[in-house]
Amino acid sequence: MALFAGTGGGTVHCSSSTAPVKKLSIVIPIYNERELLPKVLERVRAVNYPLELELVLVDDQSTDGTREWLRQHEAGKPGVRAVFHKRNVGKGGALRTGFKHATGDIIIVQDADMEYEPSEIPSVIRPILDGRCRVSYGSRFLGRMPTGMRIPNYVANRLLTLMVVLLFGQVITDEATAYKAFEAKTLRKLHLKCKRFEFCPEVTAKVLLAGERIHEVPATYFARTFEEGKKIGLRDFFEAVQTLVLCRLGMM
């Protein structure tokens, strides 16, 4: 299902709107993260945010007890929107569901694992709050090296980022970062179709095609292994390449 209407080209936009920004929505796509999710939510809630906080938790038909834990401990809490998919649709589909339910003025993605540091969320959204941009990414490669990233993953990340530069004309350092923050009104103008991990290349491509610029700030990253629950693989690299090309050709 497509959640957002219309995208187009045009002039480059960097300044945000003058409407008051009051609420931050953190959208967390979740699949089989029973062990780590409570720790992630604890760390997310421990941060001092400059805005009212809303957590949008989207369970993508987990089978390891995550779903039951969410119903017991999170659903119904003030400031929490818990959504449960009736079937597994993938990370991209879970994010589109989360964006649909988010009510914040700024929306940021947070993975349901411990690879990123939630205390850095305020610095990722700060450029949007300051009116410098409408889209801000937390880059794992800006002035630092990600901890524990396997060489194949590092090479894949660099190649995808290079493709963004060549195809869309903006120099960025991290196309596939999970820390992507958006002015909500800007995000809702995008026509996203992603189902799996192609969310990252699709949203990046469509943001740039819409005439926006992506601001980047440094983000800390601690990669986990496949044994620890890492889900992205080689198939996703080729899907990302295909997504970038199709978006550039106006076919997606």
CA dihedral 33, 121, 156, 114 (to 10 degrees): -30
Between 40 and 20, residue with greater pLDDT: 40
Q: What is the pLDDT of residues 179-230, one digit of tens each?
A: 999 999 999 999 999 999 999 999 999 999 999 999 999 999 998 655 554 5
DSSP state of 118: G
Q: What is the pLDDT of residues 163-184, one digit of tens each?
A: 999 999 999 999 999 999 999 9
Question: d(Cα 241, Cα 2) in Å, to the nearest integer?
Answer: 21
pLDDT at 30: 97
For the cut 90, the answer to whether the pLDDT of residue 59 exceeds it is yes
- In the beta sheet, which residues pair with residue 54? 25
Domains defined along the chain, listed by start? 23-248 (3.90.550.10)
